[in-house]
């Protein structure tokens, strides 16, 4: 599959885009939504279908925790309370991951950016590589369904942030206070598409794929 991009209402292939000497052929996706909205679940299917590199800040942080690094110990303390990890920590992790994976078709960002500052940093990092976000896909799920799903996952995931309803509700509050406005940031560039996140996993995947196919060439 050849990968192009959309600017305004115009679709460009990698070979006819303006400034071909500069523009990147990579296509980057942000999969956005509150905790438990299906980002991780859908990411697995999307990377298999489109051959993108999956970058989940939650997974990167859990690896640091499992390896008992100083960064992991600091992150665990915050994650166990349902709070966000500081911007400079997650931006540093993403910056290293971008540098370590320069030959890929594109990145699927899962759970990142979670603040406007993270979004601005990501745009700058991609710009340094002559790239930009192709589409921002936002999953919409009711709060009660989120709590139900996460408590259910907590029965088997071993994740300490999934077992306590109060912590789960703190994560949702943190999302409402600090993260939901990231969609407004990308809306100013006409990149946001809302996707209903309740229903079967396959139906939601099909809805996401339809939007990606309309933008990838």
Pattern 7-46, ligand B4P, x by CB under 6 A = ----------------------------xxxxxxx-----
Contacts of 180 (CB under 8 A, 6+ apart): 34
Which residue's structure tokens are 């990606």? Answer: 212
Q: Which of 57, 98, 119, 167 binds ligand B4P (CB under 6 A)?
A: 57
Of 134, 135, 166, 136, the closest CA to residue 150 belongs to 166
Pairing of strands 5-7, 10-12: antiparallel
Binding mask 126-165 vs ligand B4P (x if CB under 6 A, - otherwise)?
Answer: -----------------------xx-xx-------x----
Residue 115 near residue 87, CB atoms below 8 Å: yes
Return the number of the residue (212 or 217) whose C-beta is nearest ligand B4P.
212
Stretch of residues binding ligand B4P (CB under 6 A), selected from 1-9, 11-19, 107-115, 180-188: 107-115
Residue 111 makes contact with ligand B4P by CB under 6 A:
yes
201 strand-pairing partners? none
The DSSP call for residue 203 is H
For residues 43 and 56, the answer to whether their CB atoms sit within 8 Å is yes
Is residue 85 within the footprint of ligand B4P (CB under 6 A)?
A: yes
Q: Which residues form the interface with ligand B4P (CB under 6 A)?
A: 35-41, 57-58, 61, 78-79, 83-85, 90, 111-112, 114, 118, 149-150, 152-153, 161, 171, 201, 204
């Amino acid at each position: 599959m050849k990968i192009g991009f959309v600017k305004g209402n115009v679709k460009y292939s990698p070979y006819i885009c303006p400034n071909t000497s500069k523009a990147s052929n990579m296509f980057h996706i942000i999969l956005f939504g509150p905790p438990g909205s299906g980002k991780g679940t859908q990411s697995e299917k999307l990377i298999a279908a489109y051959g993108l590199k999956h970058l989940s800040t939650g997974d990167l942080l859990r690896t640091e925790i499992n390896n008992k690094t100083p960064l992991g110990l600091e992150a665990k303390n915050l994650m166990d309370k349902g709070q966000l990890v500081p911007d400079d920590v997650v931006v540093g992790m993403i910056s290293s991951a971008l540098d370590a994976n320069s030959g890929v078709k594109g990145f699927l960002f899962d759970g990142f950016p979670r603040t406007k500052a993270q979004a601005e940093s990501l745009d700058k990092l991609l710009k340094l590589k002559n790239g930009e976000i192709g589409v921002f896909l936002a999953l919409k799920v009711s709060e009660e369904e989120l709590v139900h799903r996460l408590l259910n996952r907590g029965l088997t995931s071993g994740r300490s942030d999934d077992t306590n309803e109060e912590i789960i509700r703190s994560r949702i509050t943190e999302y409402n206070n600090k993260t939901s406005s990231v969609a407004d940031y990308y809306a100013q560039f006409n990149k946001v598409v809302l996707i209903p996140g309740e229903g079967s996993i396959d139906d939601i995947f099909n809805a996401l794929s339809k939007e990606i196919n309309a933008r990838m060439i």
